[in-house]
Structures are given as structure tokens and as C-alpha cells.
Structure 1
Amino acid sequence: MNLAARLLGLLLLLSATACSTIGPAQHERAAAIAVSARDTAVECDRADRCATPSELHALAGSAFAQSQARPGQGPRHYALILDTGGDALLARINLLRSATRRIDLQTYIFDKDDSARLVIDELLAAARRGVKVRLLIDQLSAIADLQILAALSGAHSNLELRIYNPTFNRAKPNYMHYAASVLCCFRRFNQRMHNKLLVVDGAVAITGGRNYQDDYYDWDAEYNFRDRDVLVAGPVVRGMERNFAEYWTDPRSVPVERLDDVAKVLLQQGVPEMPPSRPAVPERVELMSQAAADQDLVRERLVSRALPVGKVSYLADLPAKHHEGPDPEAGAPGLAELLANARSEILLQTPYLVLSDSALEVFRGLRKAAEPPRVVVSTNSLAATDNPIVYALTYKYKRRNVRELGFDIFEYKPFPADPPVAVSLGAWWPGDPSAPTPTTARSEVPGSLGSLAGSGSGSGSGPGRGDDGRVEDKLRTETRPSLLRTSAPANRPVPVRGDGPRMGVHAKSMVIDRRIAVVGTHNFDPRSENYNTEAVVVIEDPVFAEALARSIERDIAPANSWTVGPRARPPVLSGLNYSMGKVLEASPVLDLWPWRYATNYEFQPGPECPAPLPRRDPDFHRCYAPVGDFPEVSLGPKSILTRMLTAFGAGLVPIL
């Protein structure tokens, strides 16, 4: 099918899609079915709702008490870096069980695999013992199972589920709905709620990069994210709770029972029973459940590492960003001000090194300073990224980032030798030979958003099945599929040479001058700045900032990352090569100039090279061996460039 025919078909689809909705009376009837079916019984009549005692939750009480005991000295908080997926899930389950009043959960992706189902079951248990639970999920990546959504809509009077910015008022759009949305209302469709926030009792909260899916907790046997959250306890959490409420009451947050496809389920069969939990690895789920109840383990792994800190801020967009545009007082502009005031060093970790015009302006301004700060960037290699479409831009502007902006860039390896993985909590580790191998063929179903937007399903969870029984690929990446590709995913991790699970950076963090730490959802890219709503926690504390810096420095160590550096100058035509690269960099398409200014290097330790060197050191090329632009990728250079060029042309502009 040629492009013109596809576009004509999509235009015809607009009218067909508009006619596929149900009427107001049916909506009211479906909502009434859900509300009337909700259980109102509460299993606990105690004031604390039979909450499990938690030293992690008790950090909030200590923070509030210390804040009140020192009037005029500013509030007191506790903060904890959640570096491993196991600890991040452990903290969440422990806090959900400790809730006495309210749980607010806001996220971009919510799957139905082992970790996600464990969280769903804990939310239901909290509601049944009397805790008010509000769950808000962005529609594009919401639970892809209408039976589960319909069951949750009528599960309990204490549990409410809303979907943010639903396309054509559906919980589960297919590819054609997506395509029609791009044609009719591109900007609205791309305005996604990327925030991730868990607030318990208005006192303790978790925010950061992690969604609710196995690959964010090191439970996927094919691909896991090297991610990071921060837990904060104390007065700032009240503001985080208020920010959640802004989204909860926004017109774009729609009760799930009022969405067309969920309403049809309710009208046809009433509120269905919650599908039974069938974990792919039951032993791992049971291990995590028991660990969350082990007070000694929680104290050792989490509470003992929490740091007392002073000034904590929550820089978060409001949903008004999707109605009125970015707020100059919050979100990305607030981060830009922090960056612009850097004096000695910026440590930046981002999965996608794609700079907006405003970010470029900030970094160019810093570069002009008499003594510009050192900028160290931890990001993905092509072999590690979940998003090769966006990596195409990283590749295109590598010369600019290294030479003009002076960045020291480190690209994460797909099989890092020293990753932050909690094996004792059921994790698969990179290259784990015991990880299962996918045995079920994955269907690339055009009607499945999951199959179009993500990579293959992690074999630790097994491929999911849609409502029609067909196998679906897992939605892994946080970007949209290509409008012009309808038969296969436009954006999935590329093949690599190694076996077993691999890892890719998903953490969004920054340390400025070893005194300001930033952890959140912002990818420091144009999408985060212009389309998504985002949120970050800013902690101005040198001890905490140093702890975050050490975490990022672990990721850029030679065992875990390749160093990006200039190539050794060729003996002839070096000036022409540099000039051609610079000219083509300014072109609006992905250039294919074969001689790049910079490439990846592997440290070669030895008697003459006992320790890693900065790329500007005169001995750099003696101690580092070039490994090429795309190390460990199991494709030839021609295939790689063809894929990147196709992705760039077909999908990149709509995404960024």
C-alpha cells in the first residue's frame, strides 16, 4: 500500500471512529453499573485501618516533628535514593501496606505483568481495609486489559481509577485510533502525563523514572531499565499531594467506567470478576511480598540509608500546561535556571541525549564562561537504548555535543559488569545465563498499540495477550510509534551480540556543583519540555548530592560505559572531514557522512594505564581503544544507518 492510499484510508477512518462511540444515556448506565457494584464493606474498623507498622513510613513523622521543633530554620526531610529495581518495588509495597488514610498513585505506564499485578493487589487490599485509593494512569500506556479495567471500576467504593487524556474516549486505542488522532488532533494526542508519583498519607512519597512494569524492577528476562527513584518524607509531600489533586480534578482525567470500550464491557456483562493472578515467576512475587513484611530487611535495605536533608522542592508541571502552555515558574524553566547557575560541574544522566533549543542556549552560555563548568553526561549507547529513533539524534549531534558544548559523554553498555541490581530480591542481571528464553512467537498485530509502540515482550513475563487472544508485544519505550509504519514496530531495541537480559539507562537525574541533586521524570529533551507534563524533586544538600553523584559515577565507570571521545586525527583531509561533518549536521535530515568526529572507546588498563583518564588527557588514545560508533550491536554498519535513517524520517519529527 503506497503512502497516498494509507493517508486516504486514515482520513476515511476519522469518520468511522467518530461513529464508534456510545451515547450519553449508555454512559450513565455503565457508570451506574460500576458504582452500584462497588463493595462498601471495610475489613478494619480501627483508626489506623489495620496498617502494617513501617519504619519507612515513620520517617515522615520524624521529619514533621523535627521541622516543628526548629521554627525559623526551615523544614526537615528524609530522602532515600532507590537505585535498584528490587529496592524500589520493596519500598512501594511496604508503603502501600503502611497507609492509614490515603494512597495517590500517578503513572505513565501501568502493565499487567508480575510487578504491576502485585501493586494492583496491594491497592485493592488497602481499599478493602478502609484506605482511600486514587489511581491515575496516562491513557496511552494504561493497563491493556479491558476485563481488568472494568473489574477495577466496580471493585470497591474506596478505589477510584481515572485515565488521563483518553484518545477518542477509549482506554485501549488500536493503531488506527492512534493514526486518526495524529491526523485530527496531533498536539492533543501527544500531550501525555509523564509524571510518576506515589503519595502515602500526604507524608511520604516516591517519584522518579519508574513506571509499573517488570523491566523497571529488574524482573524482565530480556531487557531491564537502569532507573532511579527518590523517596522523600516530610512537609514537601503535602505539595506533592496537592499537585496530584490538580491532575485528578482536571477535565482530561476521566473515570475509567466512562470510557467507551470499558463502558461496553460493563453494559454487556456487568462488572466482571478480577482476572486471577497468574504470575510468570510465582516464587519471585512471594519473595517480594514476604520481604516487604520483614521489618529487619526493610530497615537494613531502606531505612538505614535514608539521609536527613534540609531544603527540598518539587518542581512539577500542572495539567494547565496542556491547556495553556508551559508555566515559566515550574517544570523545564525551573531546571534551566538551576543549570544556568552551575559553577564547577554538572553531572547529567538521561536516557535520550536530545537537547531542546532552550537547553542548547543554556549550555552554550555556560561554555562561554571564563571557567566553564565541566559537563559529564551518562546516556545510552545504541546497543543499550530502548529507543533507537531518538538515538539517531544523539548520533547526529555527537560532534556538537563533544566539541562545541564540551560534554564528557559516557554511553551505557547493554551488559554492564557492575550494575545496581538486587539479585536477592528476584532480579535478572545483565547477561544472566539462567534467564528464560522467549518460547512464544510474538505477533506484530497492527491493531495492538503494544505491538506497535514497544519492543518484544520480556520473556520473564511472557508475551501478553489482548482481549482477542492474540499475542501482544510489550509497550516498553515511552514514545509514539511511527505514523507511516503499520506492519511492524517502528521503535524497538536493536539486536545485540550478547545473550541474556540487557540493560539501558532510564534514570533522569542531575547533580550541580556537588550540592544540588535532581531526580525525577524529566528527560531533558524537547518532548519533556513541550509536550509531556513532568516532575522532579530538587534537594539542596551536599551529602545527598554526593551520594547521587557516586551513583551516576558508578554508571560511567569503564566496566559499565564506553567513553565518547574524538577520533585520532587522520593524516590527510582532517579539515575537510571536520567541515563536512559540521555542514551536514545542520541539515534537517539524518546525515550519513561516514567519518564521524567522535566515536566510542574502551579503557585498556595496564602498567602504563593504571586508572581511567579524561578524554582530554594527552595519553587518552594510548590507554583507550576505539570500539566503533555502535559497539555490541549485532547489525552491519549499513543496516544500522538504514534503520536509523528510516526511523529518523518516518517517526522522529512527530515524536520530538
Structure 2
Amino acid sequence: MNRMLRALALLLALSAVACTTLSPAQRTRSQAIALSARAPQAGCERADACARPSPLHQLGARAFASSTPAAPRHYALILDHGQDALLARIDLIRSATSSIDLQTYIFDEDDAGHLFLDELLAAARRGVRVRVLVDQLSALKRVDTLAALAGAQAGFDLRIYNPVLGRARLSYPQYLLAAACCWRRLNQRMHSKLLLVDGAVGISGGRNYQDDYYDWDDQYNFRDRDVLVAGPVAREMAANFQAFWDDRRSVPPSQLRDVGGRLLASGVPALADAPFEHPRRVAQVSRDVDAGTRIAALAAAALPVAAVAYIADLPQKHRADNERPAPASTELRALIESAHDEVLLQTPYLVLSRPAQDMFRALRQRPQPPRVIVSTNSLASTDSFITYALSYKYKRRYLRDFGFEIHEFKPFPADAPIDLAATGATLPPVPSDEELAQARERLLAARNGSGAHAQRYRRPLQAEYAALRYARRSANERVPLARAGVRIGLHAKSLVVDERVGVVGTHNFDPRGDRYNTEGAVVVDDPAFARALAESIRRDIAPDNAWTIARRPDPPLFSGLEYTLAKVSERMPIFDLWPVRYATSYEFVPGPQCPRTLSPFDPRFRDCYRPVGDFPEVDLGLKSLLTRIFTAFGAGLAPIL
């Protein structure tokens, strides 16, 4: 009892401290301290703020010049490669003449984060208005960094979206307190991502501001996708950003308890001059932007398109009295419902909301249903094994009820748009099948030893899938694999309908996107763009890069009974203890009789594919057990996953 009383007293004390806010007078003083410390803008005698000429920036001028109100014209460029996405962003920031608006979910303090901060502050110094809006849970992780940025530079403004408990950063105990007192608000996150330059050229998609979105992590990188668009749709992007910037949930860090308290106590700290972990590659990026060769090639690859829309949620989605459907979710579903022949869907987390399930079920029941091809993560590649466990639970529903053709991304794809050299990792040679088998045996023998298969723990800031971002360590670790290497995880969120409309955005087509997160997407109604996007996704589902999910062969005895029991178990809201899953993973085996890949519903499928188990490449151990546990008991997490 004494322990319980002490714990309660500690919780009450923590509540009192965590919920303390700055008084109005303190907020006024802290803001004044930050503003007075800001270095003045150096400015530039030129009207363009000494901007660097850029062919990417010029796409905006060309698009506006050829547009009319009745016939808008745009340029669209798919950014598949992380290094291209990095170069394009830096180039556009350097080319800005008047304004830069940046909105993101994660902004880390690693090499990529520091590089972008340096570039944004440099733009502000030469006279560009720079506004940066970041979500609280993944804002820059040091209070001193936020305090320094609050007073760093005139023309540079930072705001934090939805700061729970009136703080910029939450410790683990404070997160638990927020979960206890403010669960709904804690889960309402700004997942929107946008970089908009001069109201003319924008980039949106899956990437955050962190090393592993630009091939700069030596252990795990995301295969992601952005789209650069130039033209009148930028006005829609600007209006959406402004709505977030003006919303009461977007708060300057100087107004928050931890950052404001730091400013009141000791003034504006100097922005830490932390050295880059890999200074040579940072310098090389700067040289590549200055050289302009790759930037020119990217601009030349941009497709001229006509109809482009930016469908995006507004911060009103998070109001307690909001009853309107989320625009991003409803409009994406409407696009899918318009399909006649094919839906090509790419999402890293295949956990569908109830409205999405109803939609796909209705599609399947049409007299001539469209083919639905899904690209998603395997357990070996995902950064959220809990989410994969729920996907694993509903495989029967996805295949049988919705007719999905599911392809799960491999952790070491043979042909992915990843620059492995940029990671800086020392890459081991590709092992043979025999060497893989020996490695698995060694890992099995060492499982109780010193951690031969231990993986680096991803800090909460690094985990974008935020519902359980502060869960215990095992929930945030990636699963151990049977071999070493730079692992690749799918993070792209894209959609192609009938190869006539292409979508690149932030929505994972999941319950969080429907209910909690604000999302955005660029919709390009153009066959050439749609075909290019479809080709990119089909590359990800090619046999060298993905396994195909298909039904297991029927057991020799009592197959009907087994299927019925498994189905009943799956439908139970909490417990799902049936040990045999409906589907498993298959590998394509080409040959004279199998010159090309087949649909898992083709009667010849098993002639050309061999089963490779439920969790290929995974070192079957504790994570496999945990995956099955979450499959059995984790259905209640689906609404927040």
C-alpha cells in the first residue's frame, strides 16, 4: 500500500509540474526575449533576395505563364530517389526569392535535419520569409535547440502543432500523463508534409526531415516517394499551410512551458554548432546542388500536366465539435470507387479503416470488379511490427473478401531506388542460400547469448507511426533478420487508378489517417503521369523486390472445418488464437513454363511460385512470438494504428 501511495503522490506531483503553464506576462516576456535576440536580415540589393537560379524553380514560372483560369498548366516530377529528393529540396530553398513554407511531421537533429536548418536560416538571412511548422511529438528533440531557433534569425519563424500539456517536448512520464488525461488530443497529429517555395513550386509526399528518408542511415532507410509540382495548384497548398499556421494549435516555442522557461531563465542560447556525423557527404550534396547537373536533369524529367489538385485536411479536423468527414480520406475513397479496371495501392501499413473495408468489399461485389494490387511491407522490412501483426491477422479478409493481390516488400530488395553508397555502410557480400541457412542456425544457437541479432533501437522521434511511439522498447524495435545489411523499409503512400489518375501523398489509407492525423495528397489527372507512377510501384512489387501473398494449400483433411474455425477466430474482437493463418508468402520461380509473374488467383500460380513461410528473412524468435501475440490480442489497437 505504501508503494501505491508513493506512486500516486509521484503522479500527482508530476501532474502539477507538467500541467503548469506560463502566465500571460511570462509569455509576453519570453517572446520579447526571443524577438530582441534575433539577428537582423542582411537582405540583398537585388529584388530576388540574391536567390540562386534554378531550373526547378523556373518550372513554376513556366507553368503560370502558360496557364489560364479555365486551363491551368502544371509540371509534375516523381521523386523516387532519396538523394534526388534531398537535392531538389536544397535547390528550391536556395532558389527562393520571397517565401519558404515548410510543414512536416518529423524534424530530427541528425545530419539531414541540421543541413536543412542551415539552409533555411541562410535563406532567412538573405531576406526570405521562412516559416517552419512541426508536429509536437516529432519536433526538434532538444529544448535548447528550440529556444535557440526562437531567437536565431529575423525572418525565420517556427511553430509547434498541438503541444499537449503546453510543452514542446514530452518526457516518457509526461507522455504517460498525457495519455491518461488527454488521449484523443495526444493522438491528433499533423501528419501533413509540404515544402512550398515562393507560392509557385511545392513538394509533398512521404518524406520527413531525417537521415533515413534520404539514404543517409547505415542500418535502415525508407523507400519513399515525393512529388514536386509547379503551377497554380501551389495556391491551394499555400492556403492549406496558412490555415495550419493561423490555427490556435500552432504555437511559437517561446509560449510553451519548457522553451519559454528556458528563455526566461537564461535568455536565448546559441544554436549548437554540432559537427556533422558525415561532413564529406554533406559537402558533396552542396557541391552537387551548385554544379546543377543533376538538378537540370530532374527539371528536364518533369512532365507537363494539366489537372492537378491538392486534397488536404484542415486543422478543423481536430476540433471537438467537428462532424465533417475528412477531405483527404473521403476524396481518396471516391477516386478508388471510380476505378473500372485496376487500383494500384501502395501503403507501408496495411491496416484498413472500416469505411475503407466497406468500400473494397463493395468493389469486390461488382459484376466486373477492378483488379486491386497492393504494395506493402513485410515483417522483415517494416518499422512497425505491431502494425504488421494486425495486417497479418486480416490476410484472409484482404485476399478472399476484397480480392487484394498483396506484395510485401523485401528488406534487401535487389532493384530499389536506394543509393546504398550514400548510406556510408560497409556492405557485406550477398550470401548464398547455404550461407543463409548456416546464419539462421548460428542465430538460433546464440539466441540466449549476448544478442548476436540485436538491432539498433529506433528512438520515438524516429518512429513515424506514432500511436505507440513511446511504447516499451520492444514495440519500437525492428525485427531481427537472418543476415546483415542495410535494411530498406517501404514508406511510400501512393495510388494509381486505371492508369489515368496518380496520387502521391501522406495518407496510409488507415484508421489513423481517417480519424486522427491530418493528411494531404497531390492528385494528378494525367495518363502519362499515372503510367510513370504505376511503373514505379510495379518495380517495387517485382519478384526481386517483393514476396507475393497467397492462400496456403488446403490441408489434406478437414479443410472446410479448419477454414471455418480460422474465420470465426479472426472475427473475435479480442482473442484470435487460431494458430494457422489463411495465407503465406511465396517466391516467384521463373522457368520455361513460367516466363512471367502471375496473379495469386491464377490457377497456375503454385506451378510458378514456391512458399517461403509466413515471415521470410526474419530470425524466428521472440519477435515472431510477439507478432502472433499481437495478432491474437491486438485487434483493439486497430482504431489508433
Task: Tell me, yes or no, whether TM beats 0.5.
Answer: yes
Letter in 1 for 2:267: G
Q: Structure 1 residues 19 and 110, CA, compared in 2 at 3 Å: closer, same or farther?
A: closer
* Structure 2 equivalent of residue 632 of structure 1: 617
* Structure 2 equivalent of residue 571 of structure 1: 556
Contact 1:416 1:430 in 2 (8 A): no
- CA-to-aligned-CA distance 1:413-459 (integer Å, 9 cap, x gap): 011111112357x246896669xxxxxxxxxxxxxxxxxxxx8467x
SS in 2 for 1:293: helix
Mapped partners of 2:589, 2:575: distance in 1: 32
Mapped partners of 1:379, 1:2: distance in 2: 50
| 2:587 alignment partner, one of 602, 612, 615 | 602
Mapped partners of 1:430, 1:191: distance in 2: 40
* Structure 1 equivalent of residue 543 of structure 2: 558
Contact 1:457 1:474 in 2 (8 A): no
Q: 1:641 Cα shift?
A: 3.0
Contact 1:428 1:501 in 2 (8 A): no
Structure 1 or 2: larger helix share?
2
Contact 1:432 1:501 in 2 (8 A): no
* Structure 2 equivalent of residue 549 of structure 1: 534
Q: How does 1:581-620 map to 2 (within 5 A)?
A: 581-589=566-574, 591-620=576-605
Query: 2:224 aligned with 1:227, yes or no?
Result: yes
Letter in 1 for 2:466: T
Mapped partners of 2:364, 2:426: distance in 1: 37
Mapped partners of 2:250, 2:628: distance in 1: 36
* Structure 2 equivalent of residue 446 of structure 1: none
Q: 1:392 Cα shift?
A: 1.2
Q: Structure 1 residues 205 and 325, CA, compared in 2 at 3 Å: closer, same or farther?
A: same
Q: Structure 1 residues 482 and 280, CA, compared in 2 at 3 Å: closer, same or farther?
A: closer
Of the structure 1 ranges 320-329 and 80-89, higher mean CA displacement relative to structure 2 is found in 320-329
Structure 2 length-normalised TM: 0.91
Query: 2:105 aligned with 1:108, yes or no?
Result: yes
Q: Structure 1 residues 138 and 474, CA, compared in 2 at 3 Å: closer, same or farther?
A: closer
Query: 2:483 aligned with 1:498, yes or no?
Result: yes
Query: 2:187 aligned with 1:194, yes or no?
Result: no
Contact 1:143 1:149 in 2 (8 A): yes
* Structure 1 equivalent of residue 452 of structure 2: none
| 2:150 alignment partner, one of 138, 150, 153 | 153
Structure 2, gaps ≥5 residues long? 431-454
- CA-to-aligned-CA distance 1:81-122 (integer Å, 9 cap, x gap): 000111101100000000000000000000010111100000
Contact 1:389 1:651 in 2 (8 A): no
- CA-to-aligned-CA distance 1:135-168 (integer Å, 9 cap, x gap): 0000000000122111110011100000000011
Q: 1:181 Cα shift?
A: 1.1
Contact 1:590 1:645 in 2 (8 A): no
* Structure 1 equivalent of residue 523 of structure 2: 538
Q: 1:655 Cα shift?
A: 2.8
* Structure 1 equivalent of residue 280 of structure 2: 283
- CA-to-aligned-CA distance 1:508-552 (integer Å, 9 cap, x gap): 000001101011000000000000000001100000000000000
Structure 1, gaps ≥5 residues long? 435-454, 459-471
Mapped partners of 1:118, 1:634: distance in 2: 36
Q: 1:334 Cα shift?
A: 0.9
Of the structure 1 ranges 3-12 and 378-387, higher mean CA displacement relative to structure 2 is found in 3-12
Contact 1:246 1:318 in 2 (8 A): yes
* Structure 2 equivalent of residue 437 of structure 1: none
Mapped partners of 1:349, 1:605: distance in 2: 25
Q: Structure 1 residues 340 and 14, CA, compared in 2 at 3 Å: closer, same or farther?
A: farther
Query: 2:336 aligned with 1:351, yes or no?
Result: no
Count of residue pairs the alignment pairs up: 615
| 2:270 alignment partner, one of 270, 273, 279 | 273
* Structure 1 equivalent of residue 55 of structure 2: 55
Q: How does 1:292-331 map to 2 (within 5 A)?
A: 292-300=289-297, 302-323=298-319, 324-325=321-322, 327-328=324-325, 330-331=327-328
SS in 2 for 1:251: coil
Q: Structure 1 residues 514 and 428, CA, compared in 2 at 3 Å: closer, same or farther?
A: farther
Mapped partners of 2:184, 2:427: distance in 1: 40
SS in 2 for 1:135: strand
| 1:94 alignment partner, one of 85, 91, 102 | 91
Letter in 2 for 1:253: S
- CA-to-aligned-CA distance 1:284-307 (integer Å, 9 cap, x gap): 11111111112222112x112100
- CA-to-aligned-CA distance 1:155-188 (integer Å, 9 cap, x gap): 1110000000001111110111111111111111
Letter in 1 for 2:566: G
Q: 1:573 Cα shift?
A: 1.4
Q: Structure 1 residues 343 and 8, CA, compared in 2 at 3 Å: closer, same or farther?
A: farther
| 2:411 alignment partner, one of 411, 414, 417 | 414
* Structure 1 equivalent of residue 440 of structure 2: none
Q: How does 1:80-479 map to 2 (within 5 A)?
A: 80-300=77-297, 302-323=298-319, 324-325=321-322, 327-328=324-325, 330-422=327-419, 426-427=422-423, 456=456, 475-479=462-466
Mapped partners of 1:10, 1:542: distance in 2: 61
Mapped partners of 1:185, 1:30: distance in 2: 26
Letter in 2 for 1:29: R
Q: 1:568 Cα shift?
A: 1.4
Q: 1:2 Cα shift?
A: 14
Letter in 2 for 1:248: W
Q: 1:570 Cα shift?
A: 1.6
Letter in 2 for 1:330: P
Contact 2:414 2:544 in 1 (8 A): yes
Contact 1:508 1:522 in 2 (8 A): yes
| 2:503 alignment partner, one of 507, 518, 522 | 518
Contact 1:312 1:538 in 2 (8 A): yes
Query: 2:46 aligned with 1:40, yes or no?
Result: no
Q: Structure 1 residues 2 and 410, CA, compared in 2 at 3 Å: closer, same or farther?
A: farther
Query: 2:638 aligned with 1:641, yes or no?
Result: no
Query: 2:473 aligned with 1:480, yes or no?
Result: no
Mapped partners of 1:213, 1:349: distance in 2: 22
- CA-to-aligned-CA distance 1:452-499 (integer Å, 9 cap, x gap): xxx8467xxxxxxxxxxxxx675223223378x55x352321111121
Mapped partners of 1:559, 1:655: distance in 2: 33
Q: 1:12 Cα shift?
A: 2.8
Q: Structure 1 residues 418 and 212, CA, compared in 2 at 3 Å: closer, same or farther?
A: same
Contact 1:431 1:498 in 2 (8 A): no
Letter in 2 for 1:169: G
Letter in 2 for 1:575: G
SS in 2 for 1:239: helix
SS in 2 for 1:490: helix
Q: 1:25 Cα shift?
A: 2.3
Q: Structure 1 residues 79 and 190, CA, compared in 2 at 3 Å: closer, same or farther?
A: same
Task: State the percentage of identical aligned residues.
Answer: 56
Q: Structure 1 residues 4 and 209, CA, compared in 2 at 3 Å: closer, same or farther?
A: farther
SS in 2 for 1:95: helix
Q: Structure 1 residues 276 and 116, CA, compared in 2 at 3 Å: closer, same or farther?
A: same
- CA-to-aligned-CA distance 1:284-332 (integer Å, 9 cap, x gap): 11111111112222112x1121000010011000000001436437211
Q: 1:47 Cα shift?
A: 0.5
